[in-house]
Amino acid sequence: MNQSVIKALGLLDLFTEEEPELSLKEVTERVQLPKPTVYRLLTSLEYCGFLTKTMDSEYDKRYKLGLKLMELGQLVSEQLELRKVALPYMKKLANEINEVVHLVIVNHDEAVYIEKVESTHAVRLYTRIGKRSPLYLGSGPKLLLAFLPDKKRKEILDAAAIRPLNKNQIINEIEEIKRNEFAISYGEQDEGTTGISFPIYDYHRKVIAALAVSGPSYRFEGAHLEMIKEKTKKSAKDISSEMGYR
């Protein structure tokens, strides 16, 4: 573990409702570290936006929590709200189609699976909440990639270790996904599986997540496949409505 990071983050715990502002001297006394070390850690936190500096007088510089923490807190709050809203619809969908249902978001240029409801089939996909995936693999990640701003999407694909021929194929698929507002994939993350995803929108009409269904390909055929698509589409639409999409 990076001890400097641990020490720096530990300083944030010193700022409380009772003591929202602290001086360098006060922080040093509480953590019992050398003053130059504390100063360096506080300066790094300030540079990153986790702390901001006030000045009660020319000689009394004090620190308080910065706006970056508010931004991160808002992001966490939105994700918790999304999970809370989506889960009942995910359970209903999983009960109707009896396949695993995932809720997928973008985080640090990757797809992250933040919620799931299992299938009762003996043969099913085993995934975990918190799983990360490249944004160019699988129906959920690809759908999210398709709705990113053009510049961001290009940056991600340019940075990915993909052969030019495959990259062109992915670009064509992404354009089709955006036109059709749904994605389907075959064996991209797990051999012999099929995935279907639809977008979830918020009140800004922005895609904030993908509702993804997946399972063995032999169960995703014909009329049953069409039924899964329609029910997943409706569930994504219902979740979007609750998130304020009109």
- Which DSSP string corresponds to 59-97? TEEEEEE-HHHHHHHHHHHHHHHHHHHHHHHHHHHHHHH
- Give the residue-averaged pLDDT of 224-243: 96
Q: Where are the domains of the chain?
A: 3-68, 75-242
pLDDT tens-digit series, residues 124-150:
666 778 888 999 999 999 999 999 999
> Please, which pLDDT band fits residue 173 given cuts at 50, 70 and 90?
very high
Looking up tokens 């570290």 gives 33
> Please, which pLDDT band fits residue 217 given cuts at 50, 70 and 90?
very high
CATH code matching the domain that covers 3-68, chosen among 3.50.50.60, 2.20.25.240, 1.10.1040.10, 1.10.10.10: 1.10.10.10
pLDDT tens-digit series, residues 3-39:
788 888 889 999 988 889 999 999 999 988 899 999 9
Q: Give the Cβ contact number of residue 50 at 10 Å.
A: 21
Contacts of 54 (CB under 8 A, 6+ apart): 21, 61, 62, 63, 64
Report the distance separating Cα 27 and Cα 64, nearest Å. 11
Q: Which residues pair with 101 in a beta bridge?
A: 117, 213
Q: Of the ranges 47-56, 189-198, 199-208, 212-221, which one carries the lowest mean pLDDT score? A: 47-56
* Range with top average pLDDT, 49-58, 78-87, 221-230: 221-230
pTM recorded for the entire structure: 0.71
pLDDT tens-digit series, residues 60-101:
688 999 888 877 776 776 677 899 899 999 999 999 999 999
> Please, which pLDDT band fits residue 220 given cuts at 50, 70 and 90?
very high
What is the pLDDT of the chain when averaged over all its residues? 89
> What number does CATH give the domain 75-242?
3.30.450.40
Pairing of strands 51-57, 207-216: unpaired
Kindly tell me if the per-residue pLDDT of 123 is higher than 70. no
